[in-house]
Structure 1
């Protein structure tokens, strides 16, 4: 369960009635709702799933490895709180069968979080293997569109809902060494805005753009020099998965009911100046 009182300190200090109202609201924003989170066996994806379940929702997690998914689902309390479906994020058959499974299991699908992403290519753009570049775009951009299309046709188109894409600050400005990853995330940010226009008013589409978050995926960006890297951040620390999960939960909930097409930088202030 998230630290609701810590996150809403001023409200809790203002009186027991307001405190109770905020506590109830924060722990029930996803009551009766179902979310699909891709790439959720660990890291940011799992933290997002944890936050949604903690606030009353039910979640389907996807990932490539069945064992990792099973452990993640167990950590969420198992059925009916969560289910896992293994497969490759850019496999259209996997997308369609997963969405079908969610509808069959829960009878609805209100929230899609496109979190799955890869970064197999490191270095200057002109030195990259073009096969790796194509795969990066397939998973980070085209797969996100595929997941949204599948969920829209199965549920969102008729019933409405919310989509949150997990982009990166590398999609907002150039980043040394991960240029192709940044290009794919810039495309995802533009995809977010375009789909917000096309799918409104019933479906809201937003994105978050994290800076360096302490996960296995990002280890190469800070391993052995975390304090040095953190000096570029006004908040003087790197992110942790719950930082991103909180922002995603906000954008996916009715608290963001008048927000669409936006990309929220979850970055400790690093985009105000300094390096990624």
Structure 2
């Protein structure tokens, strides 16, 4: 990947970075010359990722504010600055009809998907960005723009994250730009229960003919954090293979929704939460 990004020498914090979209984002930022401080719940996976990325890592859950404070301090201690924050870690639990949603799992969805991104941006702002500037990208979802079966808690919390993105863009301007990327169905472990059983059928229903890859999202994130997007803030960039414009959507034969209806639930809450 080559672009006039101006990311060389900058420092990025990326959450949920041991695999999937978070790992691809961290790799893409490093390829553009940035240094990374990464976090994930999987300590072994994170250790490997940090070593391969040439960065530093801190295992833990973004649901813990103390972990986020320590992560911010680690980035400053190791690299002396924080230019980019990518809030990627998320949970898709509770999975199922909202009438059956466990209240504790519902609150967890908002803790991980909404509160944690806010906390991390707060810590980065007070530690460095408020004085020196920077860029934030929140990973949302194409599904936040409409309703879908079984993913009501995920979609609702990500819709809240979309509004948080716009709110922070207004509050932190002009020093810090805040944008979001909303992927469609991407080939990740978190979404495996959707795409694995009917990938060909799902892909055939998309205008671009395939489901997404983590690198598709990573390229968009790099662009938004770069100087090439220096006059963009408060925006949400759809990276969805044309999900919103497919003819099948209006006709009620939405392939992703069909896959969700037929998919088995995620194996476990732990497996369903991005690291």
Q: For 1:197-212, what aligned pairs fall within 5 Å after superposition?
A: 197-212=170-185
Structure 2 counterpart SS, 1:98: helix
Name the residue aligned to 2:231.
258
Does structure 1 residue 53 correspond to structure 2 residue 30? yes
Q: For 1:107-256, what aligned pairs fall within 5 Å after superposition?
A: 107-256=80-229
Q: For 1:59-70, what aligned pairs fall within 5 Å after superposition?
A: 59-70=36-47
Q: Aligned partners of 1:102 and 1:202: how far apart in 2?
A: 19
Please state how far the C-alpha of 1:249 moved relative to its aligned partner: 0.3
Please state how far the C-alpha of 1:232 moved relative to its aligned partner: 2.3
Q: Aligned partners of 1:151 and 1:90: how far apart in 2?
A: 16
Contact 1:121-1:128 at 8 Å conserved across structures: yes
Q: Aligned partners of 1:175 and 1:210: how far apart in 2?
A: 15
Contact 2:93-2:153 at 8 Å conserved across structures: no
Q: Aligned partners of 2:184 and 2:90: how far apart in 1?
A: 14
| Structure 1: runs of 5+ lacking an equivalent | 5-21
Q: Aligned partners of 1:172 and 1:251: how far apart in 2?
A: 20
Please state how far the C-alpha of 1:179 moved relative to its aligned partner: 1.2
Structure 1 counterpart SS, 2:135: strand
Q: Aligned partners of 1:229 and 1:251: how far apart in 2?
A: 28
Contact 1:164-1:205 at 8 Å conserved across structures: yes
Name the residue aligned to 1:18.
none
Contact 1:170-1:179 at 8 Å conserved across structures: no
Structure 1 counterpart SS, 2:95: coil
Please state how far the C-alpha of 1:173 moved relative to its aligned partner: 1.2
Does structure 1 residue 94 correspond to structure 2 residue 63? no
Report Cα offsets for 1:109-152 as digits up to 9, x if no partner: 00000001011221111111111111011000001100100100
Please state how far the C-alpha of 1:75 moved relative to its aligned partner: 2.3
Please state how far the C-alpha of 1:95 moved relative to its aligned partner: 0.7
Please state how far the C-alpha of 1:74 moved relative to its aligned partner: 2.4
Please state how far the C-alpha of 1:165 moved relative to its aligned partner: 0.1
Contact 2:186-2:211 at 8 Å conserved across structures: yes
Report Cα offsets for 1:215-247 as digits up to 9, x if no partner: 101001111210111122100100000000000
Q: Aligned partners of 1:40 and 1:209: how far apart in 2?
A: 17
Cα RMSD (Å): 1.1
Structure 2 counterpart SS, 1:175: coil
Structure 2 counterpart SS, 1:109: coil
| Structure 2: runs of 5+ lacking an equivalent | 257-275
**Bigger RCO of structures 1 and 2 (CA < 8 A, at least 6 apart):** 2
